[in-house]
Amino acid sequence: MIAVVMCGGRGTRMASFREKSLLKLGYKTLIEHVLDALIEYGCFENIIAVSSPNTPATTKFLYSHKYCTSGKMNILEGNG
């Protein structure tokens, strides 16, 4: 199976200046919680994270994340 994670939200309804995926919950960002859960589940051949022009910081974060650099996750930049 392939997991697709939509992470192109700005988080404007959350009244934050940070992109939604990069908001912290405890000691990790929201996107890290999602990615870690998918990896721990163990049944996905690949994870595709879909970002958008609305989330440049999230896109940059994803490209530098250990799951991307290790080949467990691919990034697709959508149109928003």
Give tens-digit pLDDT for 27-73: 999 999 999 999 999 999 999 999 999 999 999 999 999 999 999 99
Per the CB < 8 A criterion, the answer to whether 2 and 43 are in contact is no
Between 37 and 14, residue with greater pLDDT? 37
Reading across the β-sheet that carries 73-77, which strands appear in turn?
2-6, 46-51, 73-77
Read off the pLDDT band of 24 (50, 70, 90): very high
pTM: 0.88
Q: Which of 32, 33, 30 is nearest to 21 (CA)?
A: 30
Residue 12 has pLDDT above 90, yes or no: no
Helices (H), the chain: 30-41, 56-64, 66-69
Q: Is 5 helix (H, G, I), strand (E, B) or coil?
A: strand
Please identify which residue in the block is written with the tokens 């912290």. Answer: 24
